Structure 1
């Protein structure tokens, strides 16, 4: 028994057995009985009414005693946990409500009457396995999945200041790669399991409430979204056939639930600033920077560190506007911050209201949200008002129908100056003259004032309308249903602008109007039945879709007056009009069968046929099959490993496609000036054929295999999954350059083969679970490698050199993102033996081929832009009504991955290199004799070859942190409020990286745009 005691204590310490934080653990005699002291506030009278009762807790299915089960008296701090034999003792009075809880089992509630002994049998809680996952044209229990499908964790990020739902997915799903955003209302990049194409579509397929959604996700209120399921492998994505090679996101919005009316209101305010506190050089820094440019004149040799008393800096400033003869040194005394003028405190203010409820006959959800976002650059504003109505009705037992709909109205009025243009302006020049008018050309060069970009009348609106109307009929055959989805998606874009500085200061204005519309009509037959130990679910789909867009533009230049702006284009001297339109159509059929035997043997088989108008006349259709198997080993009778609750093996193979743009298979023409008839005659336009048609153009096809392992152990305390996959994409879409003697410049073709392979792992651990305290951890990691196998027939295992497309950076046997350039080994110094054609301050290029001199043959594969691996860690804590969580996100490049150009070399002979300002941190990192270990090259003479410098973007980021508090229920219910939650969140608060620039994840160097860190204060109220 001593051994049991020792193991029991270890388990308690490690959290494998839950214990209340206020428990006092005592071992009595040979039994390890744990008792909770009575709460300090208990009165003596109440204590006298209490009596001791005992009991035993066992597993309902196996009869095994359960150790560490929490037995707590509701509304008090009285409680205990079971010992090594499942026994417990507790002091209670009649009427006490006992709550019995244990990780991996369903919670029980018992009211004490006159019992002396309690025999408690706990039932396993398979809620995790019974969770319903959306799989495309249907849903199924997670326990029955055979493909690589994962539900994203969006609940833990709903309090973050994410105006786009994709921001809530950053780093949380292995294999799903979401980029950063640097502008208000923008959508981040998205990729699933690497790059599968050279020039085909790289877009992940978005499916909203069962309908393919082709508009921006910034149109959707993130608070309206119930779940996001990610289809990653080919066996899962094949149900979407020709559009699914890059993976699928299935977004499901919230609906009303049976019960009384529920009102939710939330409000939050966010303030933001750059993750790095960078600024351009001030006046003195710019002067010192210019002086270092002329180190050979400002200082005396041989080491050029002794100041030259005869050096006059004013003689070397690159623009006369930087000079002022009234000053002793002849240099302007101004020290103006263009950066401060062009930036602002970023913020987000959001208010959301929803009303939901329902009965057996009808359920509803109506929501409204308003988002006002102000970006870091002036006029970088985003405003969104959205309203959603989701309605489900069941007028008869055999009929269910409804609609999921929303309208979103986005305003992005105003134009911002670019961050680079603000950085480059000299601090010794001001943007406005004495009368407060803009100085158009501050340098007296063609470089314009950046505030000419923002001092405009700009109106930009995007109106989105979406509705999916459905009806589901239970047919006379048991288990057979028919459902139709009719989805409509409509968008109106308007961008109007007038600019008095345009057309060389003569004024210009335009009106752009775009309308987009698509419809989808799906007919779906579903059949499900159970025959003894066999169960089957089958789906048949027949559907069609059409997409259309129309664009009209009117513009004018050279205005005498722009007082009416873009509303009087006829006032311009030069007037222009432009219009275009396109349409495309798809037709598809799909059949899927899910079969299960004895709840342990699983089969999913799918075949889909797609037709697309954009492909060549000889390849309008293609077929995409898939098959997947699953084996729930833990359900086998011979499986006797007690600490493993669930163990499932999965394997799948399938083919999905990637469609080309709509007119790739056709010959294309350009219209441009072509003829002049007679001397002084007018120029007439000509149409020229530029690309050759290809009637054999077809889909890229991605075939993939996926092996998966799902597990749950230690009474479901730890669960996770492991995925191994390999995909091969054939018939890559690529525009081949052809000899102009043919009369064409290029032709769209199918060439080559790309392979992706990788591994993904996610695990969740419930470290502590008691009545008052919970702590859980989720960790995920993923790695992907891609490689070009063939381009024009040569295999990667062969020679293949003749097939490399060096000009396009495509190499057989290398990643698509391979970096082919010169290797840099520092910077040439004054006393180095510098080869001919190179000078101090130039980058030092490594002679890799061993031949004399640096030539193009010295270029090598330096690495790749893709990362080696990504990982994320989420920790969540709850103590009574207080919650705390933090999420760490990281991307790592390994030896030679996750690289990007970050060059920044400067040549004194280029006047713009001397003219423009720079970020001060960068300016201090350029080479000079006094700064020999600098990062960036700066020189008085240009080298024969000036290479590009690359740097790894590795980072570890504290991406999200949230502290929340639920007001006590007895407070809120006394005023008729169900729940009040107060919270504060932080986003991107800490970033650990060696990247030189604004942000590594966004790939922004010093000339880019900052990523923002944020603090949010919010309130959620439920009535």
Structure 2
């Protein structure tokens, strides 16, 4: 960081127009009074900047006009200047009584330090696709999970929506690289691979998140990095007097769509329209009522009718009974500070979220202690310890049963007790969870210890990291309605533990125009998982619940365990010449116990080059302040699950000897061994351009990439005569390519008002290059030359209307399938590629405004499908059977059901099912006003009176508006895992339709106080 320091002597008689300095000795002859002003690189004053006398706790903060006054011991004192968003600086007093200091924002600095894995690097020296995420601007949003702050902000990093309390969104970087291998992004927290739930992390504890996107950057993590890497760094203490930060916020939450299930009148109208060929006359093309139609002939639930045959007047609001006003209460406190010898940060956070569905709760208490001590000038040690304790007690309503509950029935019997099956033998009562005793607790304990020694050779250091992750999951439940009303109770306990030990040697040397850096790593990881479950069924009394499982007539015990270990070595060299020509070369060797005996180890190399063109003498374009070209190639890997290469044994009930004999448990092989199963490898090129224009008023990055994943892990079908249906093997290749662009512009910058805009856009395409066997794997949805998200099925040309000519096997109201072959008959040959689930491109736009103490920002996030892209399943076919007649639905859904009186309806409704029932797909494209925040800093005059440094009040909104043609709750959220018709494998169904879960809209009020 460039630091501009001007020292000027002033006397009592001389007053500068914008700076007032007080000089000379104070009444205390042993001290000197220093005054000055701190401004940013644009000359604007900086408030709340810390000015501390080095080696002491003596410090002050700048006022609103950037001025400060501090008494120091003598003329040899050094001032340490720190502020959020600015690089720390040290200024020698040297007997001068005035110091004007210019700090440059970290985000505007090319020498900003970026975490790159096993070390850091100046942004100017980066050769790979590494980007620091903007989490500061989203810290006021109601995000219980830290990665929610990244949604749409980093090109190439795709973060999904959260629809449950304390949930973790889906995460992917640069598309999908595998068919059935591990798809998880590698998370590294403070240098240690992190495998716990991200919901365990208090977002307020996080200092930065850096994203490694291309293979040349991720290769340092070798076998685990094919899906990209998130490097999360927690906050540390800084030298100076203790800083105390308090924050509290409360959020109101409700669904982004105001849907609810049908009431009595709406349900009866729905039933009438469903039975359109009975309720309306054929002569009128089923648009005029048939006077002979009797609604009671089609009510299939007996309790919906009175003894005299009339319909009951019950109108129970199931939706209202199972939902509530959602909320999030967040309270956080942190204390940090230190001296040159020791620094500390202590924090506590409490989060209490009540989601829209009753009993969908999340409570988290988290504590953290980050300590670092400089034992000797050449030796420092530190510890980063945290604990997170999550409570997710309660059984929420089963959503699909809630949607189907008929408003003509109630949840209770005549005696007031809960009725398990209000619709007789149909779906169970969704409110049964209120009578279930449920305890779900997750305890996460993390301890990282490190020591770093500066060795006698200048520039050479050794660091050892030792990290432990320990997770205890307890799930206890007693359900009086379980096991067919006889009662069920269980205790399920699982424990996960892992450790990481890294030995890291770093060497940095500057020789003339040459800069050399080297990193060597030798490390090991091991993990262990165990689970024990005790379950009892059939209780005469369940009053003691899961604490007396011996009271159950039928008792069962289950247990499971697995362990893995890894050993790795890594070497990286960074070379810089004349600050213009940059080289990074890396090689990593990994060994993993999960692979076959013949394929335990693999090597992952990478190399990247960069050229700072703007520093060349021939480059004379005044508008371009900085221009760097980057290019690199690297290989990273993808792990398989535990024991994938081994023959596995399954157990189950086997034989009964004699009429009254006991059941004997059998053991049998359930999978075949593959001693040659090896790693998936992803090799890829990346070319990037970093630029800064017009005196850094415009700055941005462009990246283009192409990767190829080979030796794909896949369960290949084999003849069942072998005794098995499949064997995990390495098959085929997949290609990924894309482009990413981000730019930030400082539109207006003056003394009182600032406006900046950040825009990012990215596009990704993948396709299958090669598969095993005869080519396409239709039952798995895999096609050579097509996307991994290719959709194969029947094209729908609408719905058969009353006057249409309808082929044999179909009826009015069925989906009309396009006859691709032209043979006049619909068959499997009429299936075709309809499109893909992958989007065409994503973009985000953020605008930030500030005027004196007021700041406003809003962020728009969008995903677009283009032509036949970003499609999701969105279909329904209703036939006039008992199930369709008794079930309730969301009222909005019924408005889209086809009938002769609603010919534009999009969902099929007919007397009988068609010969083929196709799946309907819909465009999921959307534009979302995702985050809005308005904040106000109380004037310094006021906060000084109440004895604090700063008070910030804010109000935010999240997911306020969504513009989309998608029908249902939300196009972005994932529905869950399903097995599509005609497929043998499961997929994650994308897009929450009318049977999915709602996304929450939030309004937040909050306050931040700095002491």
Normalization by structure 2: what TM-score? 0.88
Query: Closer, same or farther in 2 for the Cα pair 1:831/1:478, shift >3 Å?
Result: same
CA distance in 1 between counterparts of 2:849 and 2:46 reads 21
Partner of 1:208: 189
What secondary structure sits across from 1:129 in the alignment?
A: coil
Aligned residue number for residue 735 of structure 2 = 755
Partner of 1:667: 647
Q: CA deviation at 1:308?
A: 1.1
Picking from 339, 346, 370, the partner of 1:359 is: 339
Q: Whole-Å Cα distance in 2 between the matches of residues 645 and 656 of structure 1?
A: 34
How far does the alpha carbon of each residue in 1:893-949 deviate from its partner, in whole angstroms, 9 at most, with x for none?
Answer: 0011111111111111x3212221111111121111111111100000211111010
Q: Which residue of 2 aligns with 1:321?
A: 303
Q: 1:1015 aligns with which of 1003, 1006, 1009?
A: 1003
Verify: 1:143 aligned to 2:124, yes or no: yes
Determine the structure 2 residue equivalent to 1:39: none
| Structure 1 ranges of 4+ moved more than 4 A | 49-53, 69-75, 103-109, 119-127
For 2:542 and 2:86, how far apart are their aligned partners in 1?
A: 71
Question: How far off its partner does 1:50 sit?
Answer: 9.9
Shift of 1:493: 0.5
Instruction: Tell me which of 434, 448, 466 is aligned to 1:468.
Output: 448
Shift of 1:975: 2.6
Counterpart of 1:645 (choices 619, 622, 625) is 625
Indicate the residue corresponding to 1:934 in structure 2: 905
Aligned to 1:310: 292
Q: 2:149 aligns with which of 143, 168, 186?
A: 168
Q: Residues of 2 paired with 1:740 and 1:668: CA distance?
A: 17
Matched-pair contact (CA < 8 Å) for 2:401–2:427: no
Residue number in structure 1 paired with 2:569: 589
| Distance change (3 Å), C-alpha of 1:127 and 1:305 | closer
Whole-angstrom CA distance in 2 between matches of 1:702 and 1:644: 35
What is aligned with 2:163? 182
1:517 is the counterpart of 2:507: no
The answer to whether the Cα contact below 8 Å between 1:405 and 1:466 also exists between their aligned partners in 2 is yes
Task: Find the counterpart in structure 1 of residue 920 from structure 2.
Answer: 949
* 1:264 paired residue number: 245
Q: Cα distance, 1:599 vs. partner?
A: 0.2
Shift of 1:123: 10
2: CA distance between counterparts of 1:455 and 1:133? Answer: 52
Could you tell me which residue of structure 1 aligns to residue 867 of structure 2?
Answer: 895
2:716 counterpart residue number: 736
Match in the other structure for 2:949: 978
Preserved contact between residue 106 and residue 125 of structure 1 (Cα < 8 Å): no
Name the counterpart of 2:114: 133
**Contact 1:998–1:1009 under 8 Å retained in 2:** yes
**Aligned partners of 2:884 and 2:992: how far apart in 1?**
20
Alignment of 1:713-732 (within 5 A): 713-732=693-712
Between Structure 1 and Structure 2, how many residues are aligned? 919
Q: Distance in 2 between matches of 1:72 and 1:513?
A: 57
Q: Which range moved further: 434-443 or 227-236?
A: 434-443
What are the residue-to-residue correspondences of 1:148-159 with 2, within 5 Å?
148-159=129-140
1:913 aligns to 2:901 (yes or no)? no
List per-residue Cα deviations over 1:419-449 (Å, max 9, x = no partner).
Answer: 2211110001000123321111111114211
The answer to whether structure 1 residue 413 and structure 2 residue 393 are counterparts is: yes
- Work out whether 1:868 is the aligned partner of 2:840: yes
Change (3 A) 1:981 1:692: same
1:440 corresponds to 2:416: no
Superposed CA offset, 1:674-721 (max 9, x none): 223234433322112121100100000000000000000000011000
**Partners of 1:734 and 1:125 in 2: how far apart?**
46
Mark the runs of 5 or more structure 2 residues left unpaired by the alignment.
1-14, 20-40, 48-66, 70-84, 92-99, 974-990
- For 2:7, the equivalent position in structure 1 comes to none
Most deviating of 445-454 and 1004-1013: 445-454
Q: Does the residue aligned with 2:971 lie in a helix, a strand or coil?
A: coil
Q: Which residue of 2 aligns with 1:851?
A: 823
Counterpart pick for 2:262 among 268, 271, 281: 281
User: Which residue pairs with 1:92 in the alignment?
Assistant: none
Aligned partners of 1:645, 1:563: CA distance in 2, in Å? 75
Match in the other structure for 1:617: 597
Provide the C-alpha distance between the structure 2 equivalents of 1:670 and 1:853, rounded to a whole number of angstroms: 46
Contact kept? 1:417, 1:451, Cα under 8 Å: yes
How many Å apart are 1:1010 and its aligned residue? 0.4
Deviation string for 1:482-514 (max 9, x for gaps)?
Answer: 000000000110000001111111111000011
Tell me which residue corresponds to 2:532: 552
Deviation of 1:322 (Å): 1.4
User: 1:2-40: CA deviations, max 9, x gaps?
Assistant: xxxxxxxxxxxxxxxxxxxxxxxxxxxxxxxxxxxxxxx
Shift of 1:108: 15
Q: Secondary structure at the match of 2:222?
A: helix
Q: Equivalences for 1:524-563 in 2 at 5 Å?
A: 524-563=504-543
- Distance across 1 between alignment mates of 2:787 and 2:503: 41
Matched, 1:842 2:814: yes
CA distance in 1, matches of 2:371, 2:16: 52
The equivalent residue for 2:9 is: none
3-state SS, counterpart of residue 550 of structure 2: helix
Cα offset, 1:154, TM superposition: 0.3
Q: Is contact 1:104–1:716 with CA below 8 Å preserved after alignment?
A: no
Work out which of the residue numbers 172, 178, 181 in structure 2 matches 1:197: 178
Report how far residue 826 of structure 1 moved. Answer: 0.6
SS of the residue 1:1000 aligns to: strand
Q: Is the 8 A contact 1:185 1:373 kept in 2?
A: yes
Does the 8 Å contact 1:736/1:747 carry over to 2?
yes
Structure 1 match to 2:680: 700
1:791 aligns to 2:775 (yes or no) = no
Contact kept? 1:753, 1:791, Cα under 8 Å: yes
* CA distance in 2 between partners of 1:646 and 1:1020 (Å): 37
Which SS does the other structure have where 2:109 is aligned? helix
Once the two structures are TM-superposed, the CA of residue 551 in structure 1 deviates from its matched residue by: 0.5
Rounded Cα–Cα distance in structure 2 between residues aligned with 1:591 and 1:74: 42
Q: Tell me the distance in 1 between the aligned counterparts of 2:16 and 2:364.
A: 59
Cα separation, 2, equivalents of 1:505 and 1:126: 61
Matched, 1:745 2:716: no
The secondary structure found in structure 1 opposite 2:970 is coil
Show the counterpart of 1:655: 635
Deviation at 1:122, TM superposition (A): 12
Alignment partner of 1:933: what SS? coil
CA–CA distance in 2 between the matches of 1:803 and 1:596? 48
Whole-angstrom distance in 2 between the partners of 1:530 and 1:1006: 63
Q: 1:283 to 1:594 in 2, by over 3 A?
A: same
Q: Distance in 1 between matches of 2:507 and 2:939?
A: 48
Instruction: Tell me the equivalent position of 2:52.
Output: none
Contact 2:394 2:433 in 1 (8 A): no
Query: Which of 271, 291, 306 is the equivalent residue of 1:290?
Result: 271
Does the Cα contact within 8 Å between 1:74 and 1:96 map onto a contact in 2? no
The correspondence for 1:924, drawn from 877, 882, 895, is 895
Tell me if structure 1 keeps the 8 A contact 2:157–2:172: yes
**Distance change (3 Å), C-alpha of 1:406 and 1:316:** same
Distance 1:592 1:918 in 2: 59
Look up the SS of the partner of 2:782 in the other structure: coil
Structure 2 CA distance for aligned equivalents of residues 970 and 217 of structure 1: 41
Cα-Cα RMSD = 2.5
Answering whether residue 555 of structure 2 is matched by residue 575 of structure 1, we say: yes
Superposed displacement of residue 976, structure 1: 2.0
Paired residue for 2:585?
A: 605
- Secondary structure of residue in 2 paired with 1:423: helix
Alignment of 1:331-370 (within 5 A): 331-370=311-350
Pairs within 5 Å for 1:962-977: 962-977=933-948
Deviation at 1:612, TM superposition (A): 0.3
